């Protein structure tokens, strides 16, 4: 039987492995200059009695004259904002005239609504405060404010779609809708949703239920989540989309990869919203096509879909 220390180490490997190399948060990261100049910028904002850290990256395309989009990127449980840069969102930020912001969670996890984070951590207030701050410092296009995230960060993206009306679209990866969030979800208006889930994910199980690892129950944070189908149907109904759609099997990118991608597209939604769902048959808890560090625990990735490319296409179409 695995010791608690070994289980904790595996847990960290799962979430940090697919999010890129973890980097220690420091105060001496070289800044690119003032808050609106191209490059990396770090800051701290007081929310209640907590000092909250964040990092954002301004692309070379930013000139202070033309509004840029803003993408909030939320790391997975046990990860860091710096580590989540490994999914590669910044590579196309200049092309799409977008600023990427990586908020830092408190105590390594987001309060995504499952009741598993510290009760005094108000991450929704943190996001609202950070939105206000960035809109003061940068010229932001109000029609292009988005959120994405992996696992715990993806579930928090679901919650933000319900509670913060600034977000035009969210794109959770390996993350279902927390059941408690579904019960109270009341978006102010239509919000587009793209999601990617694997059928063999033992943390965020395709069938829903308790979000604890099937074989290593001490891994993960637990808490009830909706099934992939329930999550997809909820967002289609909430956005007034056509409810019944057939899955399209997408052509494989690699014949040597046994995973397959089913694509659900709900159309005729209210207010121009869209709901798109990618079900990856055979994929586990990974940001595809990145390889997880601990596949024995997380399961395999998929080379049949690139989550980062799909998200950019969704946010910019």
DSSP 270-294: GGG--EEEEEEET--SS-TTSPPS-
* 25-29, 107-111, 121-125: range with lowest mean pLDDT: 25-29
Strand, coil or helix: what is 148?
strand
Out of 50-64, 110-124, 172-186, 273-287, which region has the weakest mean confidence (pLDDT)? 110-124
Model confidence at 80: pLDDT above 50 = yes
Closest CA to 151 of 17, 252, 249, 265: 17
- Interatomic CA distance for residues 116 and 149, integer angstroms: 17
Q: What is the DSSP letter of 178?
A: B
Average pLDDT estimate for 2-7: 43
User: To 10 degrees, the CA torsion angle through 222, 228, 231, 234?
Assistant: -150
SS3 at position 150: strand
Measuring CA to CA, how many Å separate 209 from each of 58, 117, 150, 176, 202?
A: 39, 18, 18, 10, 11
Q: Helices (H) and strands (E) in the chain — how many of each? A: 8, 12
Q: For 55-67, what is the mean pLDDT?
A: 96
Q: What is the CATH number of domain 4-316?
A: 3.40.50.1820
pLDDT band of 9, cuts 50, 70, 90:
very low
Across the chain, mean pLDDT equals 88
Compute the average pLDDT of residues 254-266: 96
3-state secondary structure of 143: strand
> Which of the four pLDDT bands, split at 50, 70 and 90, describes residue 29?
very low
pTM: 0.89
How far, in Å, CA of 80 to CA of 262, rounded?
Answer: 30
**What confidence score (pLDDT) does residue 217 get?**
56
Whether 237 shows a pLDDT value over 50: the answer reads: yes
Per-residue DSSP letters for 67-109?
-EEEEEEEPPTT--HHHHGGG-GGGGTTTTTEEEEEE--BTTB
- State the DSSP H helix or E strand holding residue 249, giving kind and residue range, or none if neither: strand 248-249
Band the pLDDT of 34: cuts 50, 70, 90: confident
Q: Does the structure show a pLDDT above 80 at 118?
A: no
How far is residue 181's CA from residue 196's CA, in Å, rounded to a whole number?
19
Domain ranges of the chain: 4-316
pLDDT tens readout for residues 155-168: 999 999 999 999 99
φ and ψ of 240, to 5 deg: 65, 30
């Amino acid at each position: 039987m695995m010791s608690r220390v070994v289980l904790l180490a595996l847990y960290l490997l799962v979430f940090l492995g697919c999010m890129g190399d973890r980097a220690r948060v420091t105060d001496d990261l070289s800044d690119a200059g003032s808050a609106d100049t191209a490059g990396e910028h770090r800051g701290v904002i007081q929310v209640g009695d907590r000092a909250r850290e964040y990092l954002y990256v301004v692309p070379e395309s930013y000139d202070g004259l033309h509004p840029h989009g803003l993408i909030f990127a939320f790391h997975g449980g046990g990860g860091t904002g710096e580590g989540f840069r490994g999914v590669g969102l910044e590579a196309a930020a200049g092309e799409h005239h977008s600023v990427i912001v990586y908020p830092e969670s408190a105590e390594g996890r987001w309060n995504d609504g499952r009741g598993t984070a510290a009760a005094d951590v108000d991450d929704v207030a943190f996001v609202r405060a950070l939105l206000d701050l960035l809109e003061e410092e940068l010229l932001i296009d109000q029609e292009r404010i988005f959120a994405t995230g992996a696992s715990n960060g993806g579930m928090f993206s679901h919650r933000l779609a319900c509670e913060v009306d600034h977000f035009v679209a969210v794109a959770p990866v390996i993350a279902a809708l927390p059941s408690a969030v579904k019960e109270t979800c009341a978006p102010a208006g239509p919000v587009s949703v793209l999601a990617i889930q694997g059928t063999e994910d033992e943390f965020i199980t395709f069938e829903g239920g308790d979000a604890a690892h099937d074989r290593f129950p001490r891994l993960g944070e637990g808490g009830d989540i909706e099934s992939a189908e329930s999550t997809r149907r909820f967002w289609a109904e909430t956005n007034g989309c056509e409810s019944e759609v057939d899955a399209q099997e997408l052509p494989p990118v690699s014949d040597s990869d046994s995973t397959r991608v089913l694509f659900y597209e709900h159309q005729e939604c209210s207010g121009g919203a869209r709901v798109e769902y990618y079900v990856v048959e055979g994929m586990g808890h990974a940001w595809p096509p990145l390889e997880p560090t601990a596949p024995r625990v997380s399961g395999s990735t998929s080379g049949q879909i690139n989550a980062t490319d799909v998200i950019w296409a969704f946010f910019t179409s």
